[in-house]
């Protein structure tokens, strides 16, 4: 096993981001040389061709041109790694989602994307020289004047455009999650395996924005050209390019597509390197070493809920430790030397159980929150009033509710738990004993009721409910999207429990076994209640991902309960577990739980 690394949280992140920046800059440089090599293609003079490329690649000028791009990559890596350093904000309504789009962070990002897009184009144009190498050239009509080269302008504008387009397409609407690989390989192999498919993806992805740009340029190209030439106070060629024939220039279109592809690949490259470097498995020490009190230990990393990436790495390490690392497991199960307390184990299990319990609580809360509060109110109040009113009104009111109930059921037919909550007798019991008498209080109640009803009615108006209404299951999905550490936590705990069967000589795990089993079972119950969430709208990518997350969590919960049951067998019954828990565990012991 690799030696554990003694670093503080800050040190870990800085090191990884630096590595990511270096790797992506290096790859970008390699890409630049390759592009130069290919574009200087000269089949008639192959030696000249190679020589030219070689001189270009070693000349200082080339790398001076590369510097700004490298800087942009660096900036972008640093800014976008911030996504993984912070807990994602919850946005329950569409309005909140839109508001989040106009954050300061996104403003910086869009600037960076646009600048990078322009810089990539500028660098390649400058290095290729040729027709579009300079912004100005001697006019074809008048030798004494300098004219704006429209091709240059066209390609540079595309640089800005692709930056902006890709920001919206990839960053705003795309997936910002950090995917951990299924198994840890060497970083180089991971990059190698991904490169080819990313290159292909970039080439395909650049097609549609290029087409859009050509169309936009066809409509507005002349105006933009005029505007730019006014600002720069320069002349333009008489023949404009914003005609269909002008846009049919093959070499220009090729460059357009090529630079778009290179830019998109640059972004993918940055993301890939960040992912590979940030998700690399790390071995946290169990106890802080003497002399380096600054270093991050395992249980400290588990508690880092405000820096998700460190918490993720911590739980991943817990899982790996539980499955594969005998040495550190031994360290975890030992007692402290003076005193004989299992501090190491206690600290880890406390943090882990805290996370599992908090997640269970969040899920339960989110699940009950989705219950339609105003409707149940309406339902109950009508019931309350109906005896005192005439039968006709009551029945009509009843009918009204019934109809609205029907409609709402059809809206929420996916969420079975909601319906059961509405119909549960506890609601009636709570409201029915209240006597009906016309007093100031009841008038106030009615007024309040009407005002809420009016608000609800307003909220139900199509446009308003679309923007301000709660998104269905938003809260549940928000929590599910972040359940990866929970998965590792339960897998790690169950594996540790299984390992303790043979390795735990002092019985430090044994005292916590009932707590572990109970919390995992509680999580299972709340997940069972969630059964139907997210079973619709399969089309959207992120929602599909949340659904898979739920499946993964469910399967991990079952897997870990089975791990405990298979290892301990009938001994499980001897633990101090409550009756209900034992009953549920019995299903697992009999292998009757699907």
Minimum distance of another protein from residue 3's CB (angstroms) = 13
Q: Tokens for 461?
A: 């108006």
Q: How far is the CB of 499 from another protein (least distance, A)?
A: 11
Q: Which two tokens stand for residue 325?
A: 């690392």
Closest CB to another protein among residues 27, 565: 565
Q: Please enumerate, as own/partner, the contacts of 332-336 that have beta carbons within 8 Å and a separation of 24 or more.
A: 332/286, 332/496, 333/500, 333/503, 333/504, 333/505, 333/506, 333/508, 333/509, 334/506, 335/506, 335/508
Cβ proximity to another protein: between 185 and 220 the closer is 185
Helix orientation angle between 187-205 and 250-278, rounded to the nearest 10 degrees:
150
Give the whole-angstrom CA distance, residue 219 versus residue 222. Answer: 8
Residue with tokens 């930056």: 163
Question: SS3 of 181, please?
Answer: coil
3-state secondary structure (DSSP) of residue 136: strand
CB 35 within 8 A of CB 124: yes
Distance of CA 377 to the CA centre of its chain: 37
Phi, psi of 235 (to 5 degrees): -90, 160
Q: How far is the CB of 555 from another protein (least distance, A)?
A: 5
- Nearest distance in Å: CB 381, another protein: 41
Backbone angles phi, psi at 322, to 5 degrees: -65, -35
Nearer Cβ to another protein (111/559): 559
For another protein, which is the closer residue by CB, 214 or 561? 561
Min dist. Cβ of residue 570 to another protein (A): 13
Minimum distance, C-beta of residue 345 to another protein, in the bound complex (Å):
20
For 374, residues 6+ apart whose C-beta sits below 8 A from its C-beta are 452, 453, 456
What phi and psi values does residue 310 have, to the nearest 5 degrees?
A: -70, -40
Q: Whose Cβ is closer to another protein: residue 77's or residue 484's?
A: 484
Q: What is the nearest approach in angstroms of another protein to the Cβ of residue 487?
A: 9
Which C-beta is closer to another protein: that of 236 or that of 553?
Answer: 553
| Residues in Cβ contact with 382 at an 8 Å cutoff, skipping those fewer than 6 apart | 397, 398, 400, 401
How many other CB atoms are found less than 10 A from the CB of residue 95? 14
- Which uninterrupted H or E stretch holds 138? strand 136-138
**Minimum CB distance to another protein, residue 273 (Å):** 17
- Residue placing its CB nearer to another protein in the complex, 184 or 432: 184
Beta bridge partners, 93, equal 470
Q: With beta carbons less than 8 A apart as the criterion, state whether 33 and 82 touch.
A: no
Q: Which is nearer to another protein, 414 or 554 (CB)?
A: 554
Q: Which is nearer to another protein, 98 or 188 (CB)?
A: 188
Smallest gap, in angstroms, from Cβ of residue 593 to another protein? 6
DSSP state of 512: G
Q: Which is nearer to another protein, 456 or 503 (CB)?
A: 503
For the residues of 409-476, what is the DSSP string, one character each? HHHTTT-HHHHHHHH-HHHHHHHTTS----SHHHHHHHHHHHHHHHHHHHHHSHHHHHHHSBPTTHHH
Of 306 and 528, nearer to another protein (C-beta) is: 528
The least CB distance from residue 383 to another protein, in Å, is 38
Least CB distance to another protein at residue 550 (A)? 9
**Pair 242, 218: CB distance under 8 Å:** yes
Enter the DSSP assignment of 146. Answer: E
The minimum distance between CB 440 and another protein, in angstroms, equals: 57
Nearer to another protein, 183 or 438 (CB): 183
Binding residues vs another protein (CB under 8 A): 1, 179, 181-186, 193, 323-324, 491, 495, 548-549, 551-552, 554-556, 558-560, 562-563, 566, 588, 591-594
């Amino acid at each position: 096993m690799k030696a554990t690394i003694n670093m503080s949280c800050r040190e870990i992140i800085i090191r990884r981001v630096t590595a990511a920046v270096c790797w992506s800059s290096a790859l970008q440089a390699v890409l630049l040389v390759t592009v130069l090599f290919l574009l200087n293609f000269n089949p008639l003079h192959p030696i000249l061709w190679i020589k030219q490329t070689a001189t270009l690649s070693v000349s200082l000028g080339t790398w001076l041109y590369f510097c700004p791009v490298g800087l942009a990559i660096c900036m972008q890596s640093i800014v976008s790694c911030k996504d993984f350093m912070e807990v994602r904000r919850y946005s329950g309504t569409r309005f909140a989602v839109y508001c989040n789009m106009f954050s300061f962070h996104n403003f910086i990002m869009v600037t960076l994307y646009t600048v990078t897009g322009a810089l990539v184009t500028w660098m390649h144009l400058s290095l290729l020289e040729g027709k579009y190498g300079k912004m100005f050239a001697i006019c074809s009509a008048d030798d004494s004047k300098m004219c704006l080269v429209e091709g240059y302008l066209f390609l540079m504008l595309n640089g800005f455009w692709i930056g902006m387009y890709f920001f919206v397409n990839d960053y705003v609407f795309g997936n910002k999650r950090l995917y951990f690989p299924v198994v840890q390989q060497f970083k180089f192999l991971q990059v190698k395996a991904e490169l080819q498919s990313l290159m292909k993806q970039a080439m395909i992805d650049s097609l549609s924005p290029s087409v859009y740009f050509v169309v936009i340029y066809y409509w507005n190209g002349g105006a933009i050209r005029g505007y730019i030439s006014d600002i720069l106070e320069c002349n333009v060629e008489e023949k404009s390019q914003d005609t269909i024939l002008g846009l049919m220039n093959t070499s220009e279109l090729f460059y357009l597509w090529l630079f778009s592809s290179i830019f998109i690949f640059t972004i993918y490259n940055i993301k890939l390197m960040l992912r590979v470097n940030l998700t690399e498995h790390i071995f946290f020490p169990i106890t802080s070493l003497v002399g380096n009190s600054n270093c991050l230990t395992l249980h400290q990393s588990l508690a880092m809920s405000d820096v998700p990436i460190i918490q993720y790495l911590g739980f991943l390490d817990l899982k790996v430790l539980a499955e594969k690392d005998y040495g550190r497991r031994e360290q975890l199960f030992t007692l402290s030397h003076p005193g004989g307390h299992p501090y190491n184990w206690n600290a880890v299990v406390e943090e882990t159980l805290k996370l599992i319990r908090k997640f269970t609580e969040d899920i339960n809360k989110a699940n009950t929150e989705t219950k339609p509060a105003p409707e149940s109110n309406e339902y109950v109040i009508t019931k309350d009033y109906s005896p005192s009113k005439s039968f006709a009104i009551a029945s009509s009111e009843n009918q009204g509710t019934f109809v609205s109930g029907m409609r709402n059921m059809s809206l929420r037919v996916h969420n079975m738990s909601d319906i059961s909550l509405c119909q549960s007798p506890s609601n009636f019991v709570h409201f029915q004993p209240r006597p009906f008498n016309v007093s100031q209080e009841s008038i106030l109640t009615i007024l309040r009721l009407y005002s809420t009803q009016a608000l609800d009615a307003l909220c139900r108006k199509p446009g308003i409910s679309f923007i301000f209404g709660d998104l269905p299951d938003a809260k549940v999905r928000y929590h599910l999207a972040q359940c990866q550490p929970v998965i590792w936590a339960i897998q790690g705990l169950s594996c540790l429990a299984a390992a303790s069967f043979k390795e735990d000589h002092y019985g430090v795990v044994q005292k916590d076994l009932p707590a572990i089993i109970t919390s995992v079972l509680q999580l299972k119950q709340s997940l069972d209640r969630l059964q139907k969430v997210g079973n619709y709208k399969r089309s959207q990518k992120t929602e599909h991902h949340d659904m898979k997350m739920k499946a993964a969590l469910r399967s991990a919960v079952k897997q870990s309960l089975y791990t405990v049951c298979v290892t301990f067998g009938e001994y499980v019954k001897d633990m101090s577990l409550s009756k209900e828990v034992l009953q549920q565990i019995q299903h697992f012991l009999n292998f009757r739980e699907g």
